[in-house]
Structure 1
């Protein structure tokens, strides 16, 4: 067993990995790579390195971590952090995704509209998440390609999807894959607001999704948890984005499964026993975005609160609530209270939960 598992990054994902390591007797050490200490870390050859994010600033400390011989998936993070190389990988593996191309110097707005239609989504190759780093080209409004986005962005066809789903799975060192049920997600202004899993009606897409994510993880020789966000268009799935790490849409597993995504990731990295996660009950996850701590959340009978202890800012993820759906009326009562306590931007997501949780 590894002496320690170091995590590039000490945000909420790193903190939850550290928490998940304790019952497994794993010493998980999240490291602040945004304001790193000057001294070298006391790393051992048998230590393992992982990351809670796809990109990090270069420093003596981040180099020590990222160049460690046991940095699992070291070649994967950069490849998936760049949307150009991520999309190229999907095409190479013949995994369905939205039609796309690089926005290079030769591309014009006219040619993009001719190829993809009157609405084209530009995405920065790196750095954009939670709705940032995106720009719409709308033919009716004659919007243009930002000058500094050329060669730094891809263009995607706008997808009129029916809904957004994600699959979280893991691959072991010997190439075995296990998966959680598909999760139904709601985004608002590009930020995940709520997730529901499992849903019986999504079971029809489970095999297709598992085949897609298996193909990707095998192609990368990936080890650990990976998340695949998809659009459902009719009876087909299109991959939107990949995350080589534990993921926001997998937070429901902390309440709903006997092995959550954080423990699963650590088990796979440390080459411990990896079992197919058992789902104990349906769960609803509500992201807490830019809202102040409210002790009333703790009074909800079916709620587990995860508060990240971060400065509250607009649009910032500061925590999440997992609501166990053991009884429909209990969920309805909790949602009714949240509708009274939460600000206006939560009214639509909370209504969405009541509409969809029964599937």
Structure 2
């Protein structure tokens, strides 16, 4: 079996590594030059893109910002999963909001802005505390601005004045006082089989995910059911095939959708060590219409896992492998500020055990690059 992934980064690499034991060969497309490459070594393979499409049993993506012409070519093959419409929803916040509205799925109150003069009505209708997002090409905190008071509006307009809002409108959202950020990762096969992983709690710093813990602490059965209901409405409504990530804000007992990612997702990396079937394997199973694997935590109901991103640094000590339950993943990139260099997965028998392991792990890391780790370790150590 052959799968062709558009994008040649770490997500394609991890799909390759999880596909190999199943006899699934994964190739990748460098979308900057349309070259077909090995997902791990990045060495060019002896195929044209057209040959690789013909050879593949399924086509998929590792990120949503694939040039649309490539997506159209892939869609024409009849092998692209998820389909082009779902991928474009993930790449365009206007389409995303339209989808959520059409399926009556709760999300942040918002307005679409294609002229700066409309920002005044946003303040009137949504309040003076706003999150402003470019509808396309924004990620990891890029393409986002904040309005904290109406007095800041003139300066914000000046900052946004050079943007072509007719080409790329803004999505302006009410800034919510949410309790926490969580995400649900799940998969759906073309036959309609659905599995979901435990709800994960996510800690962000400067717009980037730093730590995920699954299952999220203090998650009630009602909250998990609400998240699964949102996920099921989305995947069935889009006739979706593959892994989908749903990022959510928890406001009291209500979940509001923040963003969708039509692919394997950073907040699901914990599943590599913490679940019988990783998100990467389940994505491959889904796009090839194979039976989906278990998506529960390994080790029973009390088991818990964490994922810690390594961002913009390479000064960790490999002695961190001495911490029981630690699994290290390195992407082989050159260091750059805010760049995801790798991640660390940690499995534990309880939240307190996880907190203790994170405290031990912090001894081998430069904590300036892991600003959420110590506080999260201490919090988890106190969870009963």
Q: Is the structural similarity TM-score above 0.5? A: yes
Residue of 205, 219, 227 corresponding to 1:209: 227
Unaligned stretches of 5+ in structure 2? 37-47
Q: Does 1:166 align with 2:183?
A: yes
Query: What does residue 314 of structure 1 align with?
Result: 337
1:339/1:298 Cα in 2 relative to 1: closer, same or farther (>3 Å)?
Answer: closer
**Distance in structure 1 (CA, Å) of the matches to 2:254 and 2:358:** 34
Query: What does residue 132 of structure 2 align with?
Result: 122
**Distance in structure 2 (CA, Å) of the matches to 1:46 and 1:108:** 47
Residue of 134, 137, 140 corresponding to 2:151: 140
Residue 124 of structure 1 contacts residue 149 of structure 1 at CA under 8 Å; is this kept in 2?
A: no
My pick for the range that moved more, 163-172 or 285-294, is 285-294
1:124/1:299 Cα in 2 relative to 1: closer, same or farther (>3 Å)?
Answer: same
Q: CA deviation at 1:337?
A: 4.1
Number of equivalenced pairs: 356
Query: What does residue 3 of structure 2 align with?
Result: 5
Q: Does 1:69 align with 2:78?
A: yes
Unaligned stretches of 5+ in structure 1? none
My pick for the range that moved more, 144-153 or 298-307, is 144-153
My pick for the range that moved more, 131-140 or 246-255, is 131-140
Q: CA deviation at 1:298?
A: 2.4
SS of the equivalent of 2:232 reads helix
Residue of 286, 311, 317 corresponding to 1:289: 311
Query: What does residue 347 of structure 2 align with?
Result: 324
1:5/1:291 Cα in 2 relative to 1: closer, same or farther (>3 Å)?
Answer: same
Residue 5 of structure 1 contacts residue 49 of structure 1 at CA under 8 Å; is this kept in 2?
A: yes
Runs of 4+ in 1 over 6 A off after TM superposition: none
Q: CA deviation at 1:218?
A: 0.7
Query: What does residue 277 of structure 1 align with?
Result: 295
SS of the equivalent of 1:211 reads helix
Q: Does 1:355 align with 2:379?
A: yes
Q: CA deviation at 1:261?
A: 0.4
Q: CA deviation at 1:172?
A: 1.4
1:22-33 to 2 correspondences below 5 Å:
22-33=20-31
Residue 163 of structure 1 contacts residue 232 of structure 1 at CA under 8 Å; is this kept in 2?
A: yes
1:340/1:303 Cα in 2 relative to 1: closer, same or farther (>3 Å)?
Answer: closer
1:244/1:333 Cα in 2 relative to 1: closer, same or farther (>3 Å)?
Answer: closer
Residue 323 of structure 1 contacts residue 331 of structure 1 at CA under 8 Å; is this kept in 2?
A: no
Q: TM-score, structure 2 length as denominator?
A: 0.87
**Distance in structure 1 (CA, Å) of the matches to 2:49 and 2:364:** 50
SS of the equivalent of 2:35 reads coil
Residue 123 of structure 1 contacts residue 155 of structure 1 at CA under 8 Å; is this kept in 2?
A: yes
SS of the equivalent of 1:108 reads helix
Q: CA deviation at 1:107?
A: 4.2
Q: CA deviation at 1:150?
A: 2.6
Query: What does residue 34 of structure 1 align with?
Result: 32
My pick for the range that moved more, 132-141 or 308-317, is 132-141
**Distance in structure 2 (CA, Å) of the matches to 1:214 and 1:191:** 27
Residue of 322, 328, 353 corresponding to 1:305: 328
Deviations 1:220-258 (A, max 9, x none): 000111000000001100000000000000001111100
Query: What does residue 183 of structure 1 align with?
Result: 200
Q: CA deviation at 1:200?
A: 5.0
Query: What does residue 156 of structure 1 align with?
Result: 173
Q: TM-score, structure 1 length as denominator?
A: 0.92
Q: Does 1:257 align with 2:280?
A: no
